[in-house]
Structure formats: C-alpha cells, structure tokens
Structure 1
Amino acid sequence: MHDASPAYVFIHGSCHGAWCWRDVIAQMQAKGHTARALDLPPYRPAPHAQVTLQDYRQTILDDIDAHGGAPVILVGHSAGGYAITAAAAYASEKVAELVYVCAYVPQAGQSLADMRKTADHQPILDLIRKTPDGEAFEFRTDTGRDALYHDCADALAQKAMAQLRPQPIAPQSTPVPDLAPAQNITRRYIICTQDRVIPPVEQEKMTADWPQGSIERMNCGHSPFLADPTGLVSLLISSP
C-alpha cells in the first residue's frame, strides 16, 4: 500500500468532467494509491460568464482542505493545465507535484486563449463552436469525436461524446496572475504523440526547457485516460 504517499487529484480539460478519469482512478486505487477526480464548475446549469479561473483554483484547493490539507499530486489534462497551475501558484504548500497530460502549461501573462493564438497550428478552431449565449463553446459532433477519441473503441467514444458539456470561455481568457510560487514545484509532462487537439509539436514547445527526465511520451491521441488508461497509470506512478 502507499498510504504515506500524496494523493492524486485529477482535473479534466475542456467540456469534460470527473467521469473521464474513471478507469484511471480505478486502476490507481487497485494499486494502493489514493486517487480522486474533481468536476470543475459549473456543476449545474448557470450563466457561463459567471465561471472564472479563480473558481477552478478554489474548487481544487477546497477539495484539498476537505481531505485534510496534505499536499497532493495534481494531474491536469489539456485545459486542466491552467487549473492545476493556478491552484499551485496560489497555495504552493498544498501541492507536492504537478503532472501535465497533453496539457497547456501557462506562460507568464498569457491566457490559454492567448497560447492558442500563438500556436503555429490551431486544430481546435475547426472542432468547436460557441454556444448561443456566446460565453462558452462546445465540441462539434461532426469533428469532435475523431479529434478527441480517434484511437478509442467506438462505443466508448460515443459514450464520451454524449457526456461532454459546454466549456465557459472566461476561465480560458484569464492568465494565471503570478506563476512564480509554482516554479519550484516538481512537475512532469506526458506528451501524447498522436494528439489531434493540441499538436505534439506544441507540447514539445511548451516543455522545451524542462529538465531531462521530466518528460514522458505516450503513443496515443488526446484522451489517454480512455485510449490507454493502463499505460497512463504506469507513467503516473513511475518515478521521474
């Protein structure tokens, strides 16, 4: 058992929820690790414009406090990279490690939307559309499935598509105010080499100056938690 090691707290990306980590958490727990996944706001129908990056940060920190306050390993997928970094930057003493799974790594003064704009290739623009209120976006049913889950079993991919929800835009238009407090936290990155949402070349650019041994790779698409949960778990629990 691994009772003395930090708990793993999993944070989803755009339009997803805690549900996407189900198989990963089951395997982590079976191996004796403490693991749980969170839903980021909104939890219920609400004005999308009211949801903020600060809400994401506080959801994570409140969960840590609710479980005793011991430092945790935060694992963020895709846009979840901003949420875990925001939490770590605000309360670095509560985070033992940051793990980015084909995720955005915040840059000083840049929002997630800014990072997309500076990318050489932005495939996500062809995959999403705004909701009627203009304050959120959702994945298009005609292109989203192949981009998100092209290497997943068809039934699994269809079930996942049915569980997607609109993603508020405001949190992705907000930079993390001060990255400095998070800079000394151990961090790892898992590059997904067949990613059709965040191009692998962009993942490589975000980690170009990371130390050797902190970057690992999976030969899969943007959703390793569904396509290869066993492989992802193996990387998560291995030493850097």
Structure 2
Amino acid sequence: MTEFVMVAGAWLGAWAWDEVVPELRAAGHGAHALTLSGLAEKRDAPAGQRTHVQDIVDEVVRRDLRDVVLVGHSYAGIPVGQAAERIGDRLARVVFVDSNVPADGESFASAWWQGPGVLEPVIAANGGFWAPLPAADFAGQGLSDEQIARIVAGATPHPGAALTEPAVLTGSLGALPATYVKCLLDGPDPTDDVAKLLTGERWRLVELDTGHWPMFSRPRELAGILLAAAESAES
C-alpha cells in the first residue's frame, strides 16, 4: 500500500484535495492531505519555508509512513522537494504538480517568473503576506465558475517568509525518483530548471490538459496520474 502525502500550493490547505483523496483511498492506498503552517485552519501559526519543510517531514514521521509518495503542487514543490530528501528510505517517489522545484540557496521569490526582487515589495505592502488571487485571475485554467468560487472562498493569505527563505538541499534533486505533471493550460512547456531535471533517468514527464489547479478541475485524472506514479515506484 502506498501512502500519499499531498500538499497544495500558495493560499490553499488540505481541503484542496477533497476530491482526490477518495479516489486514492478507493484504490486501497493511504491518502493524507496536509495543511502547512500559516494557512487555512493553521493560519495563526507562524511559518516560513523551513517550517513548511518540517511540517511535511513531521507528518511522515508522526504517522510512521512507509512507501511514501510526496505530492507538491505549485509553491509546495519547494518544501516537498526538500522533505523528500530528508525522509530517506521512507520515500517511494515525488510528484510535482505544475510546481516550482527547490534549488539550493534559492527561494520561491528569487525564482519568480517576473524576476527576482519583484515579489518581495508585494508581500511587504500586504503586511508580510501574499494576498490570494481574485476570481478573474483563474480565467482560462479549465475551472468552472463554481470551482473558482470555491478556491477564492477558501484561500488564505500566504506567509511571506515561506516565499523568501532559501531552500536547502544536500544532494541532487535529479537523483530523486520523480514525476512532473505539466498542466498545459498554464503553459505548454516546463520551466528551464524542470526541463533540465527531466533529462535525467529518474524523472518522468506527464502532461495533463487542464490548468494550474487540477485537483479542482480534473481530480479524477490527477488521481489516476498519482496512482500510476505509485505503480512506477514499485517497478
């Protein structure tokens, strides 16, 4: 039995996986959706990026999980990638869902697509948090009006330190067994850092014809990709 530990991206909590978890459990696996510190029901907890890495490691250790598939969506790929390194032989595979990936010494903000130094003033102007997106910014991502409304209603401000603290990796990310899920409505090609990782023998690319939030727009298809990733980890 595989144990999936799933972490959603910025502004979201464990609730984002509500339609994926039943699919995984119906297939006979464990499914654990995790809310990171400072978000959703944990919004009052102080948090940074290092805290988020520890949140993930603690979840695995506290539950004594083995054969773990760690799943990181969007921002969460950064702490998930670091946690994967730290859980040792408990790890079966990592799945990055249209996500950022960690680079030693770099942060989410330093690798921001608009360039370094752009996101930090936005965070500072909002009291140290990254404000959730308005409904209009979810257009063109394969989401229904109802799904967009659900995301907007559940989103909470994202703690800024999680976005500005640098990642710490002791080994090569390319050495981890990994699947990268590219959501095509969010851009047809992986970023350059991901493309380089995909040239290695241990990384696989899966494309999904939907937008950046597939746990809402295509939960069954996403669950199928996660199950296939678990099977590849066993082979």
State whether TM-score is above 0.5.
Answer: yes
Q: Tell me which amino acid in the other structure corresponds to 2:63.
A: H
The CA deviation at 1:71 is 4.2
1:93-130, CA deviations, whole angstroms, 9 ceiling, x for partnerless residues? Answer: 332211000001112321111111xx4x67xx89xx64
Residue type of the alignment partner of 1:166: P
Q: What does 1:69-84 align with in structure 2 at a 5 Å threshold?
A: 69-84=65-80
Equivalent-residue separation in structure 1 for 2:170 and 2:20 (angstroms): 29
Three-state SS of the structure 2 residue aligned to 1:111 is: coil
CA contact (8 A) 2:103 2:168 kept: no
102-111 vs 220-229, which moves further: 102-111
Residue 21 of structure 2: which of 9, 21, 25 is its match? 25
CA shift for structure 1 position 40: 0.1
Q: Give the equivalent residue in structure 1 for 2:3.
A: 7
Cα separation, partners in 2 of 1:142 and 1:232, compared to 1, 3 Å: closer
Q: 1:136 aligns with which of 129, 141, 155?
A: 129
Deviation at 1:69, TM superposition (A): 4.1
* Contact kept? 2:50, 2:165, Cα under 8 Å: no
Aligned counterpart in structure 1 of residue 176 of structure 2, from 176, 185, 195: 185
Matched, 1:159 2:150: yes
2:44 to 25, 43, 46: 46
Partner of 1:114: 110
Aligned partners of 2:157 and 2:144: how far apart in 1? 23
Q: Which residue identity is paired with 2:89? A: E
Give the structure 2 partner of residue 233 of structure 1: 223
How many Å separate the matches in 1 of 2:65 and 2:223?
A: 24
1:142 & 1:228 partners in 2: Cα distance?
A: 19
Number of corresponding residues: 223
For 1:208, the aligned partner's letter is: K
Give unmatched runs, 5+ long, in structure 1. none
Is the CA contact 2:182–2:190 (under 8 Å) kept in the aligned structure 1? no
Q: Residues 218 and 73 (structure 1 numbering): CA distance in 2 closer, same or farther, change over 3 Å? A: same
Give identity over the alignment, percent: 23
Report the Cα offset of residue 146 of structure 1: 2.1
The answer to whether the 8 A contact 1:80-1:104 is kept is yes
1:219 counterpart residue number: 209
1:172 to 146, 163, 168: 163
Comparing 223-232 and 209-218, the one that deviates more: 209-218
1:83-94 paired onto structure 2 within 5 Å: 83-94=79-90
Residue aligned with 2:181, SS: strand
Question: What per-residue deviation string (whole Å, max 9, x for no partner) do you get for residues 156-188 of structure 1?
Answer: 221221000000111111222224065532111
Normalised by the size of structure 2, how large is the TM-score?
A: 0.84
- Asked if the contact 1:88/1:95 (under 8 Å) is kept, the reply is yes
Structure 1 distance, partners of 2:160, 2:47, is: 8
Given the alignment of the two structures, is residue 206 of structure 1 paired with residue 194 of structure 2, yes or no? Answer: yes
Find the counterpart in structure 1 of residue 58 from structure 2. Answer: 62
* TM-superposed deviation, 1:222: 0.5
Question: Aligned in 2, Cα 1:69/1:202: closer, same or farther, shift over 3 Å?
Answer: closer
Higher mean C-alpha deviation, range 154-163 or range 8-17: 154-163
**Change beyond 3 A, Cα 1:174–1:93:** farther
Counterpart contact for 2:3–2:30, Cα < 8 Å: yes
8 Å CA contact 1:190–1:216 kept in 2: the answer is: yes
